[in-house]
Amino acid sequence: MTPMEQDLSNHLMIFCKNPILGQCKTRLAASIGPGKALEVYRFLLQHTAKITRQVITQRTVYYSQYITKNDVFEPESFYKALQEGDDLGARMANAFQNSFAKGAHKSVIIGSDLYDISPELIQQAFQALDTHQTVIGPATDGGYYLIGMTQFKAELFKDKNWGTPSVFSDTLSNLKPDIPFLLPVKNDIDTLEDLHPEEVFKPLIT
């Protein structure tokens, strides 16, 4: 299935960092070294590609620094674009605005460092937008691993201390009085303690 054959009313956007030694998974690298941290992140990118291509939706990969033509996100299944903005909030805001401008009815952003992501979880997010304006997947570190909406809400991406435990609670405050649909809490992989199940990650770090 090519990107043009997908459901254009639903749009899944995947935010990722280019896998560059020393520039990704820096907190994990402090424990296991930049080389092994890069291997973990490359594995997570492969996992994210495998999971997301199973979801019937338009898909766009947003790269942090440059667009890679030959990688795990093959052009037959994924559009490719570059993140634009001075911080994570601005980059997500621009992606949502572009998505809705191109005709999407439901837009969802996920990251690329969640082993617990599944096609069913992403599909649940899109289904939740049938009855809610916003859907959020809270992360154990106080942020979120997924956010989706049916119309652009600029306030969700302003005045946030990105990468800190206050992001999720601050986002909920912005949404009041609306109540978003909350997905199950999941664990982003940022530190050595996050690497589970052991049988999956141990071969990458030993």
Q: What is the mean pLDDT of residues 176-187?
A: 95
| pLDDT-derived band at 163, boundaries 50, 70, 90 | confident
List the domain boundaries for the chain: 3-205
Q: Which CATH class is domain 3-205?
A: alpha beta
Q: Identify which of 145, 134, 142, 135 has the alpha carbon closest to the alpha carbon of residue 48.
A: 145
Residue 141 pLDDT greater than 80, yes or no? yes
- Burial class from Cβ neighbours inside 10 Å (0-12, 13-18, 19+) for residue 64 reads middle
Give pLDDT, residue 201: 95
Compute and round to an integer the Cα radius of gyration of the chain. Answer: 16
Average model confidence (pLDDT) across the chain: 94
Residue 1 has pLDDT above 50, yes or no: no
Average pLDDT over residues 173-198: 93
- Dump pLDDT digits (tens) for 67-84: 998 999 999 999 999 999
d(CA 105, CA 99): 9
- Whole-structure pTM over 0.85, yes or no? yes
